[in-house]
C-alpha cells in the first residue's frame, strides 16, 4: 500500500515565488507545486496538500495559529502516514516545540521544514529541504514509521523539534541543536540515529491538546539592567510565570534589590524559571555564587531546555491549569524529550 503524505503550507519563504510583473514575492499556489519541484512526481506515494486560507509570515505566528495547526493535524491524522509542515524559519523552533507538547505520543512523523530562499529562485534550499522531508515522512522500518515525533528537517539534518534554535539568518544552516544529537544526517543516504529517536508508548493513545495560556514573560538579564525594568516585568497584571534568561550556567546579578524583587514574586506564587542565554550547556544553579541566591529563593532551573521549549512548555502546562508546586514538578518532568535528566 502506498504511503499517504499531507503537505501543510502555513506560509514562509519556502512557499514564495516571484511575480513576473511586480517582481515581488507572492505566496505560491500549491496546485502549482509540481511545476516548481517536478521531482515530487517521482515519489512512490500519494502526496496531497492543505493550505492555510491566509498564509502568514512566521513572525506573526502566535498560539492561536498553533491551535489551528493542531486541529488540522488532528482532523487528518488517521488519513495520512506522515505530515510535512511548510513554515517560516523565524519561529519554526517555537512552533516545533509547541507541537511537541500539544500533540503527544504520535506514531507517525510531523516534520517541519522551510527555506532561507524562496522555492521559486534558482539557488533555493527549499527544494532539497522539501524533498528530503517527504522522504523521511515516508520512511518505515518493519512496517512502522521510523520517526514518531515532531522534527525539523533543514540543510541535511533532522532535529528533534523542541531542541533547536535558529542561529543563522545568512547561511542555509539556519538551526542548531547543541544539547541533543541530530536524529539523522542526510547525504547520499539518510543515516538515522535510532538510539536517539523517540519511541511511542503503545499502551497510550495519541493526545491532541489545544489549551494554552500566554500569561508568561521573558526577562533578559544584561549588564546595567535597572530595578525599574525588572519590576515592570515582574508586576505585569495576570502574570503567572517569568523566564529569566541568565548568563552562562544560570548566573545573574547578586544585587540585593534584584533578589528582593524575586523573593516577593515567589511569595506571590509566581513561577520563575532560569534559562541560560547560551545555546549550548545547561543551567546549574548553585555552581557559582551568582546563582546561589536564586536557588535559595525557589527559582526553577530549566536544565538544558531551549528558551523556545521552556516558553511553550509553560504555556501548555499553565493552560492545562497546573499550578504552584505541581507546576514546578511538571515543568521538570520531560514530556517529549525536551530536556535531559
Q: What end-to-end distance do the CA atoms of the chain give, in Å?
A: 40
Known catalytic membership, residue 121: no
Nearest alpha-carbon partner for 327 in 341, 339, 340, 316: 316
Compute the distance between CA of residue 213 and CA of residue 56 in angstroms, rounded to an integer: 22
What is the Cβ-side half-sphere exposure of residue 167, based on CA atoms within 13 angstroms?
15
User: Which distant-in-sequence residues (6+ apart) come within 8 Å of 330 by Cβ?
Assistant: 317, 322
Give the DSSP H/E element, type plus range, for residue 158: strand 157-160
* Phi, psi dihedrals of residue 247, rounded to the nearest 5°: -85, 155
Residues pairing with 190 in the sheet: 186
In whole angstroms, how far apart are CA 149 and each of 70, 80, 96? Answer: 14, 15, 10
Show Cβ contacts of residue 310 under 8 Å, excluding neighbours closer than 6 positions: 243, 273, 275, 302
Q: Which residues contact 169 (CB under 8 A, 6 or more apart)?
A: none
Query: Treating both helix axes as pointing N-terminal to C-terminal, what angle do 289-297 and 256-267 enclose, rounded to 10 degrees?
Result: 20
Q: What are the φ and ψ backbone dihedral angles of 157, each rounded to 5 degrees?
A: -135, 145
**Residue matched to cell numbers 509542515:** 85
Q: Which residue has the cell 492543505?
A: 50
From the candidates 10, 13, 95, 132, give the one annotated as an active-site residue. 13
CA dist., res. 187 & res. 3, Å (int): 23
Of the candidates 119, 129, 144, the one whose C-alpha atom is nearest the C-alpha of residue 25 is: 119
Q: Cite the active site residues.
A: 13
Amino acid at each position: 500500500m502506498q504511503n499517504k503524505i499531507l503537505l501543510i503550507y502555513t506560509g514562509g519563504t519556502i512557499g514564495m515565488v516571484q511575480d513576473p510583473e511586480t517582481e515581488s514575492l507572492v505566496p505560491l499556489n500549491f496546485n502549482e507545486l509540481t511545476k516548481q519541484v517536478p521531482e515530487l512526481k517521482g515519489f512512490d506515494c500519494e502526496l496531497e496538500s492543505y493550505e492555510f486560507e491566509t498564509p502568514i509570515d512566521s513572525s506573526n505566528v502566535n498560539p492561536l495559529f498553533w491551535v489551528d495547526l493542531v486541529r488540522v493535524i488532528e482532523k487528518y491524522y488517521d488519513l495520512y502516514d506522515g505530515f510535512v509542515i511548510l513554515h517560516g524559519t523565524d519561529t519554526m523552533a517555537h512552533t516545533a516545540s509547541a507541537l511537541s507538547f500539544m500533540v503527544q505520543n504520535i506514531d507517525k512523523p510531523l516534520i517541519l521544514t522551510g527555506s532561507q530562499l524562496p522555492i521559486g529562485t534558482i539557488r533555493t534550499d527549499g527544494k532539497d529541504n522539501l524533498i528530503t522531508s517527504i522522504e523521511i515522512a515516508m520512511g518505515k522500518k518493519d512496517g512502522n514509521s521510523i520517526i514518531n515525533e515532531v522534527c525539523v528537517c533543514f540543510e541535511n539534518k533532522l532535529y528533534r523539534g523542541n531542541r533547536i534554535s535558529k542561529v543563522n539568518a545568512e547561511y542555509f544552516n539556519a538551526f542548531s541543536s547543541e544539547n541533543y544529537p541530530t536524529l539523522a544526517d542526510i547525504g547520499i543516504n539518510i543515516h538515522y540515529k535510532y538510539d536517539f529517536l523517540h519511541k511511542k508508548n503503545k499502551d497510550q493513545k495519541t493526545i491532541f491538546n489545544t489549551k494554552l495560556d500566554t500569561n508568561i514573560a521573558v526577562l533578559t538579564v544584561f549588564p546595567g539592567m535597572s530595578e525599574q525594568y525588572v519590576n515592570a516585568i515582574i508586576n505585569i497584571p495576570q502574570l503567572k510565570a517569568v523566564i529569566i534568561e541568565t548568563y552562562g550556567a544560570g548566573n545573574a546579578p547578586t544585587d540585593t534589590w534584584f533578589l528582593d524583587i524575586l523573593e516577593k514574586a515567589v511569595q506571590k506564587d509566581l513561577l520563575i524559571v532560569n534559562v541560560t542565554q547560551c545555546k549550548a550547556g545547561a543551567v546549574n544553579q548553585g555552581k557559582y555564587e551568582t546563582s546561589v541566591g536564586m536557588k535559595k529563593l525557589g527559582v526553577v532551573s530549566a536544565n538544558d531546555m531551549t528558551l523556545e521549549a521552556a516558553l511553550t512548555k509553560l504555556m501548555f502546562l499553565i493552560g492545562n491549569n497546573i499550578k504552584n508546586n505541581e507546576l514546578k514538578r511538571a515543568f521538570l518532568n520531560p514530556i517529549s524529550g525536551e530536556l535531559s535528566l
